[in-house]
Amino acid sequence: MRNYLIVMVAAMCLGISLASTVQAQNTDFRTLQQQLKLQQKRELDALKLQQRNIKQSWKNAQVSNATRAQAKHQMQRDRRNLIQKQKDAMQNLKDQQRALKESQRTYGH
């Protein structure tokens, strides 16, 4: 009976420690996700500021319509590429979290 009680107490302690580990990893994931979102917001704001400055510079100089159109198209491409890169980064983070959970489930950690 005494051995059974010791084994049960040890199993409960192990279960509690594993649950706190999983919870800590979920918290880490949320923190990483928030940091990534904040970084992406800064990148997008920087791109918008850069593009706004380019458009402002056109007011002070004579730029042909063809050059303006080409620059506007390049700015649109840059914005699309940045947004796609950010979506890919967020998806990679989610995939890593999914793989981590799957490995924990598989190996019982």
Write the DSSP string, 58-106: HHHS---HHHHHHHHHHHHHHHHHHHHHHHHHHHHHHHHHHHHHHHHHH
pLDDT at 16: 60
pLDDT mean values, one per 10 residues, the chain (109 residues): 60 57 66 96 96 93 93 96 97 94 83
76 part of a folded domain: yes
Domain count, the chain: 1
Indicate the pTM of the whole model: 0.68
Q: Which residue range forms the structural domain that includes residue 86?
A: 2-44+65-107
69 part of a folded domain: yes
